[in-house]
Copies of this chain bind each other. A is one copy, B any other.
Amino acid sequence: MLAKFKKHIKRKFPELVGKPFLLACSGGVDSIVLAHLCHHTELDFAIGHCNFQLRGEESDIDEIFVKDLAFELSKSFFSTRFETMDYIAKNKVSVQLAARELRYQWFAEVMQENHIEILMTAHQADDNLETFMINLSRGTGIDGLTGIPEKTDTVARPLLPFTRSQILEYAKVENLAWREDNSNSDTKYLRNKIRHEIVPKLKELHPTFLENFKNTQQYITGTSKLAVLYIDQIRKTVFQREDGIIRISVASVLKLEPLDAHLFALFKGYGFTEWNDVKSLLTAMSGKEVRSKTHRMVKDRDFLLLAEIKEENTKDYYISNDVGEIHTPIHLRISQVLHVKETSKNVLYVAKETLKYPLTLRKWQKGDYFYPLGMKGKKKVSKFFKDEKMDSISKEKQWLLCSGDAIVWVVGKRADERFKVVDNTCEIVKFELNT
């Protein structure tokens, strides 16, 4: 196996020869064999180990075990301990995801500090098959089936062409010691079941099963990449981005055939999972909304509006001074001026004597009305929004400048008649919105 490994490094990873990298080593048979193979290939590497502290003393013994190996091979050793359970509790993620996030973040730091560009991991051929079967059983999208790549800009996985049995064989012949992880998380349980009960049966199906599977997975990965290129094109023509909101013409989406596949590919990146709801949205009434954990999509007449979910700021803010600048919740410059000069949607001049301090900045409420400048009589704010063709997300973002109960300014949109500067106005206050 060493000869084959050396050849593989030379052919597929020439950039690793003579250049230091960081080898991620858990202490398991895969990463122990990988360390020995790299050592005998005379590659220049440091060893990194993460102690997730999930298995008490066992975790600590793993750490010492890997440290000893680094010493034996005369390699630099980096290690860290994570409060993984705390991280899980805080971020509400699975053990698996927590470990991955913590690990890759820490490796990145070590690499940066030590001017190392490449991380090497010990994934092998059976890992890909096992992950494939796990994701098949869970019903994830195609991304769960495409397999881990052999190399990216920062990660190298030179064990991927080798099978678990080849690795075990090498460890035995070379008389290597390694650590077994006897924990039994959900994923581990699945993986073990697949490894011991299903994969051996699969391998009996065809003499070159693993090789065939690898080809199939490459086809899936390739097809998936072409579909991404396709959907990127579609997104360019169908998505209009403005002010953090993506506007999507319903008519242009309805033209896409097959619709389900397009919807899934267009919107899976925004965390949606209820595809029937997403589909119904296309023909729903205005105002209807679908939410994922991170995004919301609102039907607004002929459009879908897609935006990140942000806790909308519904607090009231007070402005007690008529000169100065505020930055929260919006950026307003307030000054006293002698004349009305420039006029724009973002500038408001009001007669100071009409204002009752403190002024308030608040969001729209049902029943709000004002006296739009230049119009006779009052108008409901909701009616104003409608006439302005404002979508529901924009309405929620709209601030109102108020004096007592009265609306002075639908900020950036329309002033109120009652506060306007007239001939006998003594003092003029200028509000300038910085967008």
Contacts and interface: CB of A to CB of B under 8 A. Distances in A.
A212 B135 CA distance: 9
Nearest to A227: B226
A325 interface: no
Contacts of A226: 226-227, 230-231, 261-262, 265
Interface in A234-286: 258, 260-262, 264-265
B213 A136 contact: yes
A139 interface: yes
Given A137-B212, A198-B198, A216-B135, A224 B223 contact: yes
Given A226-B261, A227-B223, A265-B222, A194 B198 contact: no
Interface in A213-232: 213-216, 218-227, 229-231
A219 B137 contact: no
Contact of A201 (B197, B206, B223): B197
A263 to B, nearest CB: 9
A330 interface: no
A205 B194 contact: yes
Interface size class of A (residues with CB under 8 A): 35 or more
Given A193-B201, A201-B197, A222 B260 contact: yes
A142 B215 CA distance: 10
Most chain B beta-carbon neighbours within 10 Å: one of A208, A219, A221: A219
A225 B224 CA distance: 10
A427 interface: no
A125 B54 CA distance: 40
Contact of A139 (B135, B213, B223, B264): B213
A256 B260 CA distance: 27
A85 interface: no
Contacts of A204: 193
A211 B211 CA distance: 28
A358 to B, nearest CB: 56
A318 interface: no
Contact of A261 (B137, B139, B142, B222): B222
A166 interface: no
Interface in A138-172: 138-142, 144-145
B193 A264 contact: no
Contacts of A230: 226-227, 229-230, 233
A220 B260 contact: no
Contact of A225 (B138, B190, B211, B258): B258
A209 interface: yes
Contacts of A233: 230
Contacts of A220: 142, 145, 220
Interface in A75-128: none
B197 A137 contact: no
A192 to B, nearest CB: 11
A1 interface: no
A92 B62 CA distance: 59
A73 interface: no
Interface of A: 133-142, 144-145, 190, 193-194, 197-198, 201-202, 204-206, 208-209, 211-216, 218-227, 229-231, 233, 258, 260-262, 264-265
30 contacts: A133-B202, A134-B205, A136-B213, A137-B205, A137-B206, A137-B212, A137-B213, A138-B212, A139-B212, A139-B213, A139-B215, A139-B216, A142-B216, A142-B220, A142-B223, A190-B205, A193-B204, A198-B201, A198-B202, A218-B260, A219-B264, A220-B220, A222-B258, A222-B260, A222-B264, A223-B223, A226-B231, A226-B261, A227-B227, A230-B233
